[in-house]
Amino acid sequence: MCHVHRVGKTTLLAALLGCVPAGERIVCVEEAPELAPQHPHVVRLTTRAPNVEGAGEVTLRDLVRQALRMRPDRLVVGEVRGAEVCELLAALNTGHQGGAGTLHANSPAEVPARLEALAALGGMARHALHSQLAAAVQVVLHVVRRDGVRGLAAVGVLQRDGDLVRVLPAWQDGCWGPGRQRLLDLLDGAHRVGSADGDGDGDGDGVAC
């Protein structure tokens, strides 16, 4: 999910997580405990600043690593700001599917470049980032605030373009885009997964944000 400041991204993400089947474990990693999804199986991990002696700091990157030991069905990073994106993408590529996170970006098309910059902080090369991104992330939601009203402005789907990944518009401001069929296929696959699990409302692994 990409956004600018104060657009309701936490509310939207919490609402989406509330649709996750009750039998799945959600692990939320945040700098401050903001996410409060209506779900019976949520584990919350928050960062800790260093003490006056400079010791005891717990970073988002530390927490993402710790979260992987908790066998999450859904791994969520409240806001991706730095090198923790490397651990998050690695986790989503090793069986921890159905993850989500938020990211500051002005449009879905800018998401790959923004992730490149953050991954560089963790020492991940550009080609490696795009390879991980293509396998880990499928859908991007863009939320905005216009004239004081917050809402979903666009939905994009990720697509390989040679060695890179770009975001293909699927829906924007009420109109379908060239990524429409890809999005519908993902939603259909997610519905089938949810039905097979005995919960037709499950959002499945196919719509990881």
What is the β-pairing status of strands 175-176 and 164-172?
antiparallel
Number of structural domains found in the chain: 1
Summarize pLDDT for 110-160 with one digit per residue, the tens: 999 999 999 999 999 999 999 999 999 999 999 998 888 888 999 999 999
Single out the residue of 121, 120, 84, 77 nearest to residue 209, CA to CA.
77
Q: What percent of the chain has pLDDT over 70?
A: 87
Nearest-angstrom CA–CA distance, 60 and 31: 7
The pLDDT assigned to 205 comes to 35
Decide if pLDDT at 6 tops 50: yes
Bridge partners of residue 156, in order along the sequence: 140, 169
Give buried/exposed letters for 78-88 (b at 16+ CB in 10 A, else e).
Answer: bbbeebbbbbb
Q: Which amino acid is at 162?
A: G
Name the average pLDDT for the chain: 87
Summarize pLDDT for 68-117 with one digit per residue, the tens: 899 999 999 998 989 999 988 988 887 666 789 999 888 999 999 999 99
Report the CATH number at residue 189: 3.40.50.300
Summarize pLDDT for 12-59 with one digit per residue, the tens: 999 999 999 999 999 999 999 999 999 999 999 999 999 999 999 999
- Give the side-chain half-sphere CA count within 13 A for 113: 6
Are the C-beta atoms of 20 and 202 separated by less than 8 Å? yes
At a CB cut-off of 8 Å and minimum separation 6, what does 54 contact? Answer: none
| pLDDT class of 200 with cuts at 50, 70, 90 | very low
pTM of the model: 0.83
Q: What is the CA radius of gyration of the chain?
A: 17
Q: Please report, to the nearest 10 degrees, the dihedral formed by the alpha carbons of residues 2, 179, 99, 28 taken in order.
A: 30
* Residue that wins the pLDDT comparison between 8 and 138: 138
Residue range(s) defining the domain that contains residue 141: 2-207
